[in-house]
A and B are shown apart, each in its own frame.
Chain A
């Protein structure tokens, strides 16, 4: 099955700086890669996703890049704000189910 690894597990950044989270996946057949943000006690919220026919996607301060050859994808958050503090999960899907990374706890220092 698919195995998704996510790094780092924790990330502390100064407000206004950028945050980068990296994930790798094992199944070359995976073709859909969403990123979720989860605040404490809340549901995971989809913040951005990318499909395997695209190398990069951007939505305001959030961007995701995908390298199919290397089987890794990354989340970039620019101009971080305190409300960006949360746990972020990457995921990959090949057949029908999502496999999640272990999560990254992002703390934005004011």
Chain B
């Protein structure tokens, strides 16, 4: 299957700092990427949908000024957690949809980034 990478895999930061997470589709183009947040023993909660070349679409209750999303190319989307606080500590996972051919609906996940805010 298609490969999605995510960097960094884990990060520890001080409260008030900003953290940038990168998501890349390695062997396919992704016009749409998704950012999820997952708390321990819970399901994946969609935060926002990232569209290449346009503004992200945020889910209800997600602060767009706190979680900045940029999708500058067909293979890269970034999520920046601004002024992070301990309650932002979570597992952040990106996902990309392969828009080509018969895999038009298949969505592949990155390995996730574990964020710990002290």
Contacts and interface: CB of A to CB of B under 8 A. Distances in A.
A93 B105 contact: yes
A44 B46 contact: no
B50 to A, nearest CB: 11
Interface residues of B, number: 18
B61 interface: no
B1 A51 contact: no
Interface string A15-57: 0000000000000000010101000011111100101000000
B43 interface: yes
A89 interface: yes
Contacts of B75: none
Contact of B93 (A34, A44, A103): A44
Contacts of B49: 96-97
B105 A43 contact: no
Contacts of B46: 97-99
Contacts of B28: none
Interface in A41-75: 41-46, 49, 51
Interface of A: 32, 34, 36, 41-46, 49, 51, 89, 93, 96-103
Give me the 4 closest cross-chain CB pairs, A-B, nearest first. A43-B109, A43-B111, A32-B105, A44-B109
21 contacts: A32-B105, A34-B107, A41-B112, A43-B110, A43-B111, A44-B93, A44-B109, A45-B109, A46-B1, A46-B106, A46-B107, A51-B105, A93-B105, A96-B32, A97-B34, A97-B49, A98-B46, A100-B44, A101-B43, A103-B42, A103-B43
